[in-house]
Structure 1
Amino acid sequence: MRTVYPAVQAVSLILCSWFLSACTPTPDLPLGQEHKPEGEDKTTAAISKLLTDNLQVQYADTNKLRDTHPKDNGCIRGTFHINSELDPAFQQGIFQPGNQYPVWMRFSNSVEKITADGEKDFRGLAMKLTEVSGERFAKPGDEQHTQDFLFLGHDAFFAANPQQFFDFFFENFHGSRTKFLITHPRGAWNILRGAKVYNNPLNVKWNSVTPYALGLPVAGSDGMLTYPNVVRYALRTCSDNPGSVTDSEHYLAMNLDKQLKTGTGCLDFYIQLQKDPHDNPTENALISWSEEGSPLIKLARIDIPAQTFTSDAQKQFCENISFNPWHGIVEHRPLGGINRARQIVMKDLSDFRLQQNGAQRFEPTGHEAFEQSDLPIIE
């Protein structure tokens, strides 16, 4: 997100300190349930149109970049290893002891335009596991053997639900960003806390900020579906990740490139369990899930081998990858309004961008190889 002006920071901090809980609409739901409100489909369609129309204007005479997260801070490969010993309750879907999957990871700055890495920003990480088997979701239906995970460099989102997401970008595109921040103090507070500077993408504390099922639901006598485990995902580094370069606009990719040319990296993959529907809501992405109340539980590790990722061919490959949390199997159903909107909006934006750029949709195999040369990050 873009930097918040100091006056808005002060107002937002005051409002948040007074009304932080009052301005956080959270439906009263039982543990393990979600609720789709009336009119959400209309809001989702409006989000798709708003963002697509803006892409058309923003990149009128050039290739269309992603609506958010347009700046690639490194697109690298690795192997996703499931722990050999897991609690049976967590042995769902891909999380089978000893399983491993090739994975592509794209690190990014989240703001809607290319910015210098020294500017405070939410950071993003999109991850795609390949060679995944199991029953899949009908939508988007464009990949058959993948499981995607999305992360931000913060533990909460800037919008509670699709309506607030639409409001944020509508005001942003129409010159009233300050209005949104003042009238949505919890979102402003999360932006203030989440916009940070890092020296290496592997040093970010990553969080999914939205909930997911871990296992199949059970239908009650009233027909309501209850998920035995609802979780958020998190990543933490398990390697020494230097960040010696800080005087370039593109130092995040430069430091990652320098590390992986001769060395390795790794990330540990965790879940947080929904312990309480109020403290860990499904329908309010503004609320962080306290690690004190719901400790991180490690399920897997991502090993990142030495590699080079700066070739034009690999950059173009990664630019055309489509990420969507609904690329996956039913045991890992995305939950909550933000995720329900993503199912449609991310597919619509990906379709538009690829079509406008003359690119073909494809499904990565995890075994792509690119001829590399010792190219700088930015020529």
Structure 2
Amino acid sequence: MGFVKYEDYAPIERPNYQEELDEVVRAVAQRTRDSVERQGVGRAVRTAHGKSYGLARAVVSVPELPPEYAQGIFAEPQVYDAVVRYSNGLGHLRADSLLGAACGMGIKMFGVPGISLLSDEAEATTFDLNLINNRTFFANTAHDYIVLEQLFAELPDALANPATRKTWLGDFLTRKGTLQTPEQWLWDELFAMMSFTAVPRRNLLSYTYNSMGAFRYGDYIAKVRTAPTEESLKSIVHDTVDVAADGEAFRNTLVAEMGERDHAFELQVQLNVDLSRMPVDNTSVEWPEQLSPWVTVARIDIAAQDISGEENLKIADGTSITPWRAREEHRPIGEIQRVREEVYRRSSIERHRINGQRRQEPVSSAALLGNSR
């Protein structure tokens, strides 16, 4: 079976998409403003991935690849300076025991040629990947996201409390009663959301992180993930994340592990071979590996380094990661990916404005983190 060509994918164009997107953007911007008081830390906090665990220098190395995988920024052997940011997926600043285990790995590469897809920073040389330690996502349209984003903001409290759990699940499944029949209900999305609750608490360097949404991959269509190398996974010493004993267990184990040894990930892509069984516009459905395996297209090396300081967290908090900080050959595709373009951009603008942070892309890891190791 051959790989699906990018040109064979037809985006779904719904007539009310723009007005629904505008409503989502307004809601996220308002929630960002409200976070100053809600989170009680005197600054605006992301509505997702609000708690940073650390920002580390990294190197992304692209080897010589077979033609189907030698696409876009992976077309030729190359080495990119980079940083990696780890964060919790929820939009709260709390002890880890009061948060879930859904965590993110954001990658920012520097010195990437070409024009950025973000029109207000077209000349920036950065290229981002935002990944999470789960295979599927819980929203697929702007229409659904209007409601589901509100419900997401109530986690993890709504599911942890028996008095609100059933109501919350019912609201999610029926989009707060707007979907009348079981055939319309958001079954795939609910199963995807519940899969986040099954993520085990482990050292952040031990997870596989997924894009969930699809991207153009040169001539083809792909999803992206990172997986620790076998050697790196075996080398982890601080593998126990005990949030009951340590409210900052995720960060403390990450700091300890990074401070003591090098770690490495394989950056992999899964090319689409069947749009019906590997849907682009339903990110709540996992693409079967038996149809198309994951293939390594680059290696991410994170050398041992000290990320323990408060300044590191401050820099991590001000670092923006968006899937649209990319090139045309890696354009995000699918409706929820299109939603992310303006939501991430406007959220970042609003957060930086409130926090008095300069919103400008750095040119290197040294420019962002300094020259110290």
Q: Which moved more, 1:344-353 or 1:90-99?
A: 90-99
The one-character-per-residue Cα deviations of 1:159-217 (angstroms, maximum 9, x if unpaired) are 122222222023456996333333233222112222223221111121100000011xx
Is residue 2:207 matched to residue 1:204? yes
Q: Partner residue of 1:65?
A: 45
Shift of the 366–143 alpha-carbon distance from structure 1 to 2, 3 Å rule, reads farther
Q: Distance in 2 between matches of 1:53 and 1:204?
A: 33
- Structure 2 matches for 1:1-379, cutoff 5 A? 31-60=8-37, 62-83=42-63, 85-118=64-97, 119-141=99-121, 144-171=124-151, 177-183=168-174, 184-195=186-197, 196-215=199-218, 228-238=219-229, 239=232, 240-242=235-237, 243-246=239-242, 247-364=245-362, 365-368=364-367, 369-370=369-370
Q: Distance in 1 between matches of 2:33 and 2:351?
A: 9
CA contact (8 A) 1:78 1:304 kept: yes
Q: Secondary structure at the match of 1:367?
A: helix
Deviation at 1:99, TM superposition (A): 0.3
Q: Secondary structure at the match of 2:300?
A: strand
| Residue type of the alignment partner of 2:365 | G
Q: Secondary structure at the match of 2:45?
A: coil
The one-character-per-residue Cα deviations of 1:211-256 (angstroms, maximum 9, x if unpaired) are 00011xxxxxxxxxxxx31000011111032314523121122112
Q: Distance in 1 between matches of 2:69 and 2:342?
A: 28
* Seq. identity, %: 22
Q: Distance in 1 between matches of 2:75 and 2:300?
A: 15
The one-character-per-residue Cα deviations of 1:121-160 (angstroms, maximum 9, x if unpaired) are 3221211111111133253436610111111111110112
Q: Distance in 1 between matches of 2:322 and 2:169?
A: 30
Aligned residues: 332
| Residue type of the alignment partner of 2:125 | H
Q: Distance in 2 between matches of 1:31 and 1:249?
A: 49
Q: Distance in 2 between matches of 1:171 and 1:245?
A: 27
Q: Distance in 1 between matches of 2:143 and 2:259?
A: 44
| Residue type of the alignment partner of 1:32 | Y
CA contact (8 A) 1:32 1:229 kept: no
Q: Partner residue of 2:178?
A: none
Shift of the 109–245 alpha-carbon distance from structure 1 to 2, 3 Å rule, reads closer
For structure 2, the 5+ residue unaligned runs are: 1-5, 159-166, 175-185
CA contact (8 A) 1:161 1:337 kept: yes
Q: Distance in 2 between matches of 1:51 and 1:40?
A: 16
Q: Distance in 2 between matches of 1:50 and 1:206?
A: 28
CA contact (8 A) 1:102 1:367 kept: no
Q: Distance in 2 between matches of 1:180 and 1:140?
A: 37
CA contact (8 A) 1:120 1:197 kept: no
CA contact (8 A) 1:140 1:343 kept: no
Deviation at 1:71, TM superposition (A): 0.9
Deviation at 1:42, TM superposition (A): 1.5
Q: Distance in 2 between matches of 1:213 and 1:96?
A: 14
Q: Which moved more, 1:302-311 or 1:170-179?
A: 170-179
Q: Distance in 2 between matches of 1:316 and 1:353?
A: 13
For structure 1, the 5+ residue unaligned runs are: 1-28, 216-227, 374-379
Q: Secondary structure at the match of 1:340?
A: helix
| Residue type of the alignment partner of 1:241 | I
| Residue type of the alignment partner of 1:293 | L
Q: Secondary structure at the match of 1:88?
A: coil
Q: Distance in 2 between matches of 1:102 and 1:172?
A: 34
